């Protein structure tokens, strides 16, 4: 069997590795002239690390990051609401929460993929005839395979051609991301909550610091590099140290800006011999750190289903049955966490903070554990 994978990001490369490990021929198509990722950090939770171990690249990935230590949830003024212990998650999940630069993960996955890679291939059309699926690209190239995997992100060209009614819905807040040299004062991960805004600090390896910020805003604001920098300084002026200094020290050209969106009105993730995974199927808010992890899980489950079912359509049906309920739950919980953190009303925020302190963050811990403790074999069990 030959698989065509469209997209050279986390989900596409993981799918390529998993499919190759299952014995399939794989051609991966990326529209960019090189496979690379820029500008941001990410967390890999135990559920994703176990999958990467299962497909043979876990050790390579772990070597490029470090375990997230204990952290804090704070107010904009610097008052600690709760201490966030990672030991409970690591013990229950059987692996750490790994923090690393997204570019490092992409490089590790690219090194681990031994299939054919075709760069500069922008998908323009897909068609199915009998037991084959055909992809056409802007450069005039075509390719045929037994199955096509759309792993090309929330702007997915594959999804646009098979599910044109699906859309990416704005959730009400916009975000910035950046990486800088880590100040000596930052020794642990933290997230701080203010009025309709949040700011996070995440130490990476090699003395770097990943920061993220989000604030409630109208949809579709286009900001230049300089405007991103000034907007961040304006939004987080007066917040506790070292937030303003971190923003000031960031090269404006290196700050990424995205409206936070979810994919809606998508009736299924498969169409004949075409399957979607990762953000192409279920772009979600980043509040649980499970976006990339879910793409990794998707890729693993899809490869196992194709290996276990001789008929492609049966395999893809099984893939959807296994993945959609879990992902729907993650999307729902992540959205709820974001709404909780983005409150603007003063009374509502005081109540929120009081509940967080009184419960010591128990609800949040239980939610993240629900997903983090999952082992690869459990992903292959129908829970309906």
* 88-99 pLDDT per residue, tens: 999 999 999 999
pLDDT tens digit sequence for 97-145: 999 999 999 999 999 999 999 999 999 999 999 899 999 999 999 999 9
Residue 155 has pLDDT above 70, yes or no: yes
Q: Which residue has the tokens 């579709």?
A: 220
Virtual torsion, Cα 209, 222, 175, 264, nearest 10 deg: -140
pLDDT at 352 over 60: yes
Domain 2-168+262-379 CATH assignment equals 1.20.58.220: no
Which residues, in sequence order, are bridge partners of residue 276?
Answer: 150
- The H-assigned helical ranges of the chain are 10-21, 46-54, 58-62, 87-93, 102-112, 157-162, 225-235, 243-248, 279-282, 291-308, 312-341, 346-359, 362-372, 376-379
Peptide bond into 150 cis (omega under 30): no
Q: Is the pLDDT of residue 60 over 60?
A: yes
**Contact 353/361 with Cβ under 8 angstroms?**
no
For residue 114, the tally of other CB atoms under 10 A from its CB is: 11
Residues 318-343 pLDDT 10s: 999 999 999 999 999 999 999 999 99
| Residue 206 pLDDT | 87
Kindly indicate the confidence band of residue 39, based on its pLDDT and cuts at 50, 70 and 90: low
What residues contact 109, with CB distance under 8 A and at least 6 apart?
10, 13, 14, 17, 57, 61
pLDDT attached to residue 384:
54
> Residue 35's pLDDT band (boundaries 50, 70, 90)?
confident
Residue-level pLDDT at 40: 83
Query: Could you say which DSSP state residue 119 is in?
Result: E
pTM of the model: 0.97
- Alpha carbon separation from 323 to 166, 210, 294, 329, 356 (Å, rounded): 18, 30, 9, 10, 31
Answer whether 303's CB lies under 8 Å from 144's CB: no
pLDDT exceeds 60 at position 275: yes
Distance CA(343)–CA(34), nearest Å, equals: 40
The alpha carbon of 272 is separated from its chain's Cα centroid by a whole number of angstroms, namely 26
What residues contact 122, with CB distance under 8 A and at least 6 apart? 31, 137, 138, 139, 157
Structure confidence at residue 105 (pLDDT): 96
Task: Note the pLDDT of residue 382.
Answer: 79
Report percent pLDDT > 90 for the chain: 95
């Amino acid at each position: 069997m030959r698989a065509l994978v469209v997209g050279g990001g986390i989900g596409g490369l993981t799918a390529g590795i998993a499919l190759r490990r299952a014995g399939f021929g794989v051609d991966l198509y990326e529209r960019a002239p090189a496979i690379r990722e820029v500008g941001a950090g990410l967390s890999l939770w135990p559920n994703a690390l176990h999958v990467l171990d299962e497909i043979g690249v876990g050790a390579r990935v772990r070597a490029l990051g470090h375990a997230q230590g204990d952290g804090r949830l704070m107010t904009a003024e610097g008052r600690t609401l709760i201490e966030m212990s990672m030991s409970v998650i690591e013990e229950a999940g059987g692996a750490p929460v790994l923090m690393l630069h997204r570019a490092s993960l992409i490089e590790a996955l690219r090194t681990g993929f031994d299939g054919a890679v075709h760069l500069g291939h922008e998908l323009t059309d897909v068609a199915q005839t009998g037991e084959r699926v055909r992809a056409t690209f802007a450069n005039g190239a075509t390719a045929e395979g037994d199955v096509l995997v759309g792993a090309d992100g929330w702007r997915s060209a594959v999804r646009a051609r098979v599910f044109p009614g699906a859309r990416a819905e704005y959730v009400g807040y916009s975000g910035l991301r950046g990486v800088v040299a880590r100040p000596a004062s930052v020794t642990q991960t933290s997230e701080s909550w203010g009025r309709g805004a949040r700011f996070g600090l995440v130490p990476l390896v090699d003395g770097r610091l990943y920061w993220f910020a989000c604030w409630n805003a109208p949809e579709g604001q286009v900001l230049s590099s300089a405007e991103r920098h000034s907007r961040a300084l304006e939004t987080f002026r007066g917040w506790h140290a070292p937030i303003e200094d971190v923003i000031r020290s960031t090269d404006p050209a290196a700050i990424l800006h995205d409206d936070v969106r979810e994919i809606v009105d998508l009736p299924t993730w498969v169409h004949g011999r075409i399957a979607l995974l990762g953000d192409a199927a279920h772009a979600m808010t980043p509040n649980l750190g499970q976006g990339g992890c879910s793409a990794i899980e998707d890729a693993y489950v899809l490869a196992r289903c194709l290996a276990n079912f001789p008929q492609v359509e049966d395999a893809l049906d099984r893939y959807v049955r296994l993945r959609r309920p879990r992902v729907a739950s993650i999307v729902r919980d992540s959205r709820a966490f974001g709404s909780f953190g983005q409150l603007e009303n003063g009374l509502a925020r005081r109540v929120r903070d009081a509940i967080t302190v009184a419960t010591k963050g128990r609800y949040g811990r239980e939610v993240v554990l629900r997903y983090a403790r999952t082992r690869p074999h459990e992903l292959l069990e129908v829970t309906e």
